[in-house]
Amino acid sequence: MNDPHESSAGPWAAHPTGIRWVVLALACGTSFFLYLHRYTWNFVVPQLRSEYGWSFDETQAAYIWFNVTYGLGQIPSGILLDRIGTRLFLTTMILLWSLVIPWQAHSSRLVVGLARSTIGVTQAGCYPGLARATACWFPLCYRTLVQGLVATVCGRGGGALSPILMATVLMATLGLSWQAALFVLTGLGLVFGILFWTQFRDLPEHDPRVNAAELALIHEGTPPVVPQAGVANSSKPSLWAPLALALRLPSVWMIVLMQMFVAGVDSIYSSLLGVYFLSKGVTLGKAGLLASLPLFGGMIGGLCAAGLNDFLLRVLPSRRWARSLVGLVSNLLACGCMLIMIQQSTATGAALALGAVKLFADMSQPTGWGACTDIGGRKGSATVFSIMNTGGTIGGVLLPWLFGKILMNSQTVGMIDGVEQKDFVPLFTTAAGVYVVSGLVWLFINCTKTLDDVSSRGSSRSASAR
């Protein structure tokens, strides 16, 4: 039987095809739509309160349901991804969460709560799936750059453009209701989900458009994964095998701890910056603009870290320290910028300093992705990533609670419109310390110890016993 990847014989056979760039575009689009749809909640909340009389506590409860199911769905999604493949899983999830988006506009508390829960669980496996895709489709020499583009640039970009598209374009300019705007965003998501199904394949070996030269480039001399379908007497590994192997690696537990700190301190940027800048006495419009600066800083930092990771992987003899040095140094620099930020007397100066903080802090994101794909490889990267993301969800619950307690117990520095304004210095000082601890954890992450190593040791012991 002829190899479909050899069918491109002729003058162009020696040139790699570019199907991996199609995969990159699909991965970037998935990350973009994830945040584009997720951040619609910012404009659903005021409508629920004004049109349906929801209280602040009720909207917060609906928001929390997203976090709960998002966290609970991480590991099951990773296991399922490594079992059934990225194409089927992500297509199904994109279509499902897109269909559910408009149900956030319902007047029923139960319906909205179920919608938020469904969005959480369907989006839980997105980044584990994209981690698996990048591990399968891109060579090591620039894989981290790809992951930075996907996760940081396109994810943050989707979040930044969500208010512009929904509020400014669809509602303000085109005059659509908020319910109609959600339906438009649903339509865009459904179109993209269908496009993902038609254009994406789990492995380059499964795509007849990929020629042998592109396969060789992707594998970088390593043996390709041979599809097992139709092979006689072949058996699939246990459903829980990747999870069991991952949990035996100390570095996986260190990645969980690192992500707890990173995601936990990240809650400051998504929940407290508006309050902070308003406490500085700026207008609401200016507060929103200043609060957006860290997001753009994070986009730049993630892209810089991706390129730096791939550069260090080429010039340093140790893959472990190429990853760990970026994680360590970037977090220490984030701490330093946070301490500089505390000393700023103006809101604009503080916002610029926070942009620098986030630039360095978000350098951990593509570095963590790279470590996950190194450890998990082509067979278990989704599971390892889902374990890391579970740690992030735990941190996203615990550290906001801690920050809230610190802020509540801080001294009052003034009153604005009858509301007490608290001193944020203790909170930001604590955040600076969290960055230091997160950086130090990278010293204990060894991404060169992989699931294959654990599996091989287990197989050797079994053979010896027999």
pLDDT at 225: 46
Whose structure tokens read 């040791």? 457
User: Which residues are registered as beta bridge partners of 415?
Assistant: 420
State phi, psi for 424 to the nearest 5 degrees. Answer: -90, -5
For residues 409 and 406, give the distance between their C-alpha atoms in angstroms, rounded to a whole number.
5
Q: Kindly report the number of other CB atoms within 10 A of residue 57's CB atom.
A: 8
CB of 353 within 8 A of CB of 427?
Answer: no
CB of 366 within 8 A of CB of 447?
Answer: no
Mapped to the 3 state alphabet, what secondary structure does the chain carry?
CCCHHHCCCCCCCCCCCCHHHHHHHHHHHHHHHHHHHHCCHHHHHHHHHHHHCCCHHHHHHHHHHHHHHHHHCHHHHHHHHHHHCHHHHHHHHHHHHHHHHHHHHCCCHHHHHHHHHHHHHHHCCHHHHHHHHHHHHCCCCCHHHHHHHHHHHHHHHHHHHHHHHHHHHHHHHCCCCHHHHHHHHHHHHHHHHHHHHHHCCCCHHHCCCCCHHHHHHHHCCCCCCCCCCCCCCCCCCCCCHHHHHHCCCHHHHHHHHHHHHHHHHHHHHHHCHHHHHHHCCCCHHHHHHHHHHHHHHHHHHHHHHHHHHHHHHHHCCCHHHHHHHHHHHHHHHHHHHHHHHHCCCCHHHHHHHHHHHHHHHCCHHHHHHHHHHHHHHHHHHHHHHHHHHHHHHHHHHHHHHHHHHHHHCCCEEEEECCEEEECCHHHHHHHHHHHHHHHHHHHHCCCCCCHHHHHHHHHHHHHHHC
CB of 115 within 8 A of CB of 163?
Answer: no
Whose structure tokens read 């999830």? 93
Higher per-residue pLDDT: 306 or 378 = 306
pLDDT tens per residue, range 12-65: 456 888 899 999 999 999 999 998 898 787 678 777 877 888 875 677 678 778
The predicted model scores a pTM of 0.70
For residues 307 and 73, give the distance between their C-alpha atoms in angstroms, rounded to a whole number.
31
pLDDT tens per residue, range 264-313: 888 777 666 766 777 788 775 566 667 777 878 888 888 888 788 878 88
Higher per-residue pLDDT: 342 or 377 = 342
pLDDT at 461 over 70: no
For residues 307 and 338, give the distance between their C-alpha atoms in angstroms, rounded to a whole number.
24
Higher per-residue pLDDT: 351 or 242 = 351
What does each C-alpha distance from 16 to 204, 223, 285, 301, 328 come to in angstroms?
Answer: 12, 17, 50, 31, 36
Domains for the chain: give ranges and CATH numbers.
Answer: 17-223 (1.20.1250.20), 240-458 (1.20.1250.20)
pLDDT at 408: 76
pLDDT tens per residue, range 153-188: 888 788 777 777 877 788 778 888 889 999 999 999
pLDDT tens per residue, range 64-112: 788 788 888 888 887 788 788 899 999 999 999 999 999 999 989 999 9
Mean pLDDT of 319-335: 93
Type of residue numbered 330: S
For residues 363 and 368, give the distance between their C-alpha atoms in angstroms, rounded to a whole number.
9
